[in-house]
Amino acid sequence: MKSVDANKMEWKDITCELCQVEFVLRLIKIKEWVDKHDPGALVIPFSGALELKLQDMSAEEKQKYLEENMTQSALPKIIKAGYAALQLEYFFTAGPDEVRAWTIRKGTKAPQAAGKIHTDFEKGFIMAEVMKYEDFKEGGSEAAVKAAGKYRQQGRNYVVEDGDIIFFKFNTPQQPKKK
């Protein structure tokens, strides 16, 4: 029990702890209501104050803060749930200077995925060279994935899978010559 003559900082901590208890009690009631009205629906507890605080921290500060306070950010769960609810997935492209993730709808074929990068990629699509992220992680390099026989060349009907690493081959459409 804290003493009555607690300084301002201690009162702030006490108030914060009470807010967290109140939040948990409300969360229980919210979860009960959701289970009654939409069984199986996902509920992700989210603290806007925590996320705002974490946003301004470096990666090291963020990790230390989360460990000290025995909590975690809800953003990864929210993003995954949003992608699942909207039937979205992503694929990667990589070059010497950049690795980038591209968001597409599930069921997207390779030419349309290429079109997310640039419309000319879709128009002049030849093929997609594909490796799985897990294979790349396991092998450690593109060469290792190729040596293991897990680097594939896919055509127009290939349905891009979540986490594919893709190199698109394409012809740029030729402009008609002016006379």
Instruction: Render pLDDT for 22-70 as a digit per residue (tens, 0 to 9).
Output: 777 888 888 899 899 999 888 888 888 889 999 999 999 999 999 998 8
Instruction: Report the side by side order of strands in the sheet with 164-170.
Output: 99-105, 88-94, 164-170, 125-132, 152-154
Confidence of residue 3 (pLDDT cuts 50, 70, 90): very low
Is 127 in contact with 151 (CB distance < 8 Å)? Answer: no
pLDDT of 149 higher than 80: yes
Q: Which CATH class is domain 87-170?
A: alpha beta
Rounded CA separation 179/163 (Å): 47
Neighbours of 130 (CB within 10 A): 22
Q: Work out the end-to-end distance of the chain between its first and last CA atoms, rounded to an integer number of angstroms.
A: 90
Model-level pTM?
Answer: 0.71
Question: What does the pLDDT read at residue 47?
Answer: 84
Question: What does the pLDDT read at residue 164?
Answer: 98
Is 50 in contact with 66 (CB distance < 8 Å)? Answer: no
For residue 18, the SS3 value is helix
pLDDT of 17 higher than 60: no
Tell me the residue type at 111.
Answer: P
| Residue whose token pair is 């975690």 | 72
Dihedral sign computed on CA atoms, order 127, 131, 133, 134: positive
* In the chain, where the domains are located: 49-86, 87-170
Tell me the residue type at 80.
Answer: K
Rounded CA separation 91/93 (Å): 7
